[in-house]
Structure 1
Amino acid sequence: MQSSRSPALARALRGACQTPSSHTASRSTVRTLTTTSLSNHTARSRQPTLIRQLLTTTTTTTTGTTQTRHASSSEPTTTPLQKTPLHPLHLAHGAKLVPFGGFHMPVQYAALSVAQSHLFTRSRASVFDVSHMVQRVFGGAGAARFLQRVSPSGVESLGEHRSTLSCLLKGDGSGGIVDDAIITRLGNGGGLGEGFYVVTNAACREKDDVYFDREVERWNGEMGGEGLGVREERLDGRGLVALQGPGAEAVLDGVLAREGGEGAVGLELRKLLFGQSAYARVSLGGGTRVSCPVLISRGGYTGEDGFEISVAGDEAVAVTEALLAAGPDKVQLAGLGARDSLRLEAGMCLYGHDLDESTTPVEAGLSWIIPKERRTADAGFYGADVIAKQLVAKSKGGTGVARRRVGLIVEGAPAREGAEIVSRAEEGKEPVKLGAVTGGCPSPSLGKNIAMGYVKDGFHKAGTEVDVLVRGRPRKAVVVKMPFVPTKYWKGEA
């Protein structure tokens, strides 16, 4: 998602990160958490990079529009903001709303501070509204091959209801990343049709629309006559809800409809592994009715076990309320603040910060999304020649990469996006610039300052000591392996 600064959003988060003292739901929930842990982490926590720098917008008006001031212009412009299907629920739960990716989005709710919400997700379960993300379906006989042209993933080999993290690549052959995406091969019987379900970032919506329009037209012009046409459908208005945390499975299992039509019987969540999906139905209104089929995908953006649930827009509130009916001791609503600090702890990239069009998958540490059979110059995806050479070190005949994405533990003050990373000061030697921080925050789980950034190749190994310039002052930092907090994806019994 795109990088920019929002004074309004920063002010919101400064308040959001304080522990609420008067809300009954908050007090009852906080008692179930470790008191010492909460007080220590809440005191240390500040708004993470996403919340400080995401937006160009500055003020949300009562008419639902946003006054936007761009760095290149002194004159504000007015752009309408959209509302997700869960907007009424956000208002009912005292959400602090901010402009995000063209939508009114909750940064936090009245029940918990950002730090508390973060820790609650790690220990129980939280529901995030991610309906601002763009959901698409690509169908047609050529859909798999088309997606293998614009991404490095092995889409043709994906099994039914299997997913992969991927990225869209620039058509100029540079290997640069247009956006990151999740690609899922759909099965029958759920209402989304056959083909591939693709979720991309909200802040890249307009850019991605232009990209796909151009690439689909080009593909159909070349391959449509051979019976390998492709069509794209954007699922505007559809809801997307992320249920994340160690208690997520129990919460979701408690609302799955056991009867009531196709997709309502037989889903055993324990057998649904990370990277898999299935259609099911949800019991609504205390069991008085049953939802339309929802697409349940096991995965998420927090590093915890969990699910992302794609649901018809007019049933999004009812499905979310069904999840929340498990009770505030088991599940709470969470906003953008906790979502960003959770993904940083999980070492996950944020587009526009850790990824952009000048970055290749190899530089970003995403080589693992490229299957072995596609690691050749003639693999057929955009930038394959460049990426294949980068995958091989210079010492072995390739080009390697000049920089690499790393994790850092930073002493003293937290390092924010843009902070320079330099070599450690030595007597008689000037520090050498190695790179820059792309995101950082105090980690609520670890009680340490964590950061992500890019450094020159050779300085990327775990244990390497560097300095990060925070407000011009060098702070010692150590390169560490990511994720900072171990992931807990459900991959079956050990």
Structure 2
Amino acid sequence: MLSRTATSLRTTSRAGRLVLRGLATSAPVYENKRTPLYQLNVDRGAKMVPFAGYDMPLSYGDVGQVAAHNHVRTGAGLFDVSHMVQHIFSGPGAQAFLSSLTPTSLDKIALNGSSLSVLLNDNGGIIDDLILTKHAEDGSKWYTVTNAGRADEDKAHFSAKLEAWNKEHPDQAVTWEILDGWGLVALQGPKAAEALSKLTDADLSALKFGQSMYAEIGKDKVRCHLARGGYTGEDGFEVSIPPESAVSITEQILAVPDVWPIGLGARDSLRLEAGMCLYGHDLNESISPIEGGLAWLVSKDRRTEGSFPGSSRILAELKDGPSRRRVGFEVPGAPAREGAKVFDEAGNEIGVITSGIPSPTMGTNIAMGYVKNGQHKKGTPVQIEIRKKLRPASIRPMPFVPPKYYK
């Protein structure tokens, strides 16, 4: 997915709060949930941190986050992303129902093909981003993955919309299932396909970026769902595993030479280099797909129909331009962090940073944020307030690191 749960590169403890560079998470007053792989993570020396209502691995053992990041760029890394919410929507109206919530033409998606899209509110803001995968030729079954940090909001939205849909379209009724307890791991990196091929007879070369299949994995030939893609910009697979086999399959993948377990710290730096958004930071319910640089999610035929939530705002922004735009920044010197203000050369405030890191791959500081429309052109010099000083930076296109998807 474009936006996934991640953390930043370093942590410190401050007044009972976990500070994740650019992201402060208050200590929970309730017990966090645990993924099916929680004990496996602990046994492998994971440093567990609370995130999105779960205890999640930030890093493993003595492996630094930069080393973990670099291993994904050169080898293969496995992420526990079982906290993500997996759904199945089925029934004769499944495709039409999901189309009513998003701006993407789902009828254009081939069988077992996937598309990124967004759930929109009535004002055209992004409730969440999600991956939609077509599992029936007639559109009667869809596998969907949404963000853990938006689970409550998404479930409330789906529930209300589905109740209304089934009342209005009794002959196009839709059922909704959440795959509780299922494992979900992301195997990422240039050696991902080689590693996974050791555990399956499936022809992985036939699976291109944005496509999925069911395949038998591991010594017990467990039927798993494989989706080629990921959040790092590298080639890879997201593997959905039945609850009873989640630990076993994950252990077998990790037993393949050169596959490392990778935590959320490296995942954040990888996704930012890939120009991917993190919901709650780079996207929220006030930001439209046009402002967020996601105009390509609004399919051409939907622009004519306008039959999606918030279409009046979104179509107007497509025509006249939005008031702000998501952009990338290259920041020499000190890194820019979330919340840092952006100014033009004359000292006028024009935007804000939403994510920022020292890039392990590029060897310089990079950031993502929003600036006023007209100030977003490639190469535009800006100033960013860092440690109470205005420091020079420039706007540059994303992704920062070219993607290596298997197409």
- Specify the TM-score bucket, using the shorter chain as the normaliser: over 0.9
Q: Give per-residue Cα distances to partners, 1:396-445, cap 9 Å, x unaligned.
A: xxx311110000001211000000000114xxxxx111010000000000
The answer to whether 1:290 aligns with 2:221 is yes
Give the corresponding residue for 2:126: 177
Asked if 1:337 corresponds to 2:265, the answer is yes
SS of match in other structure, 1:79: coil
| Aligned match of 1:279 | 214
TM-score (norm 1): 0.78
Partner of 1:365: 293
SS in 2 for 1:446: coil
* Partner-residue secondary structure (3-state), 1:217: helix
Map of 1:458-477 to 2, 5 A cutoff? 458-477=374-393
Among 21, 37, 48, the alignment partner of 1:86 is 37
RMSD: 2.2
Confirm or deny that 1:228 pairs with 2:172: yes
Counterpart amino acid of residue 368 in structure 1: W
- Cα offsets for 1:344-375 (capped at 9, x unmatched): 00000110000000000000000112222112
What are the within-5 Å matches in structure 2 for residues 17-416 of structure 1?
Answer: 51-54=20-23, 56-58=25-27, 68=28, 78-170=29-121, 172=122, 174-187=123-136, 195-224=141-170, 227-256=171-200, 258=201, 267-284=202-219, 289-291=220-222, 293-327=223-257, 330-376=258-304, 378-392=305-319, 399-416=320-337
Aligned: 1:444 with 2:360:
yes
Q: Could you give the per-residue CA deviations for residues 149-179 of structure 1, whole angstroms, max 9, x where no partner exists?
A: 1111111221110000111000x2x110000
For the structure 1 residues 484 and 360, does the alpha-carbon distance in structure 2 shift closer, same or farther, using more than 3 Å as the test? same
The alignment partner of 2:112 has SS state of: coil
- Calculate percent identity across the aligned residue pairs: 47
Structure number having the greater strand percentage: 2
Larger relative contact order (CA 8 Å, sep ≥ 6)? 2
For structure 1, the residue ranges without an aligned partner over 5 or more in a row are 14-48, 59-67, 69-77, 259-266, 393-398, 426-430
Alpha carbons 1:50, 1:340 under 8 Å: kept:
no
Aligned in 2, Cα 1:366/1:255: closer, same or farther, shift over 3 Å?
same
Conserved 8 A contact 1:4-1:53: no
- C-alpha distance in structure 2 between counterparts of 1:339 and 1:391, whole Å: 32
Counterpart in the other structure of 1:11: 12
> Could you tell me how far apart the structure 2 residues matched to 1:205 and 1:57 are?
18
User: What amino acid maps onto 1:186 in structure 2?
Assistant: H
Select which of 381, 402, 406 maps to 1:486.
402
> Could you tell me the TM-score, scaled by structure 2's length?
0.94
Structure 2 CA distance for aligned equivalents of residues 5 and 321 of structure 1: 24
Opposite residue 81 of structure 1, the aligned amino acid is N
Whether contact under 8 Å (2:58, 2:264) holds in the other structure is yes
1:42-93 per-position Cα deviation (integer Å, ceiling 9, x unaligned) = xxxxxxx9933445333xxxxxxxxx3xxxxxxxxx2121111111210111
Shift in CA distance, 483/199, structure 1 to aligned 2, threshold 3 Å: same
CA–CA distance in structure 2, aligned partners of residues 231 and 95 of structure 1: 38
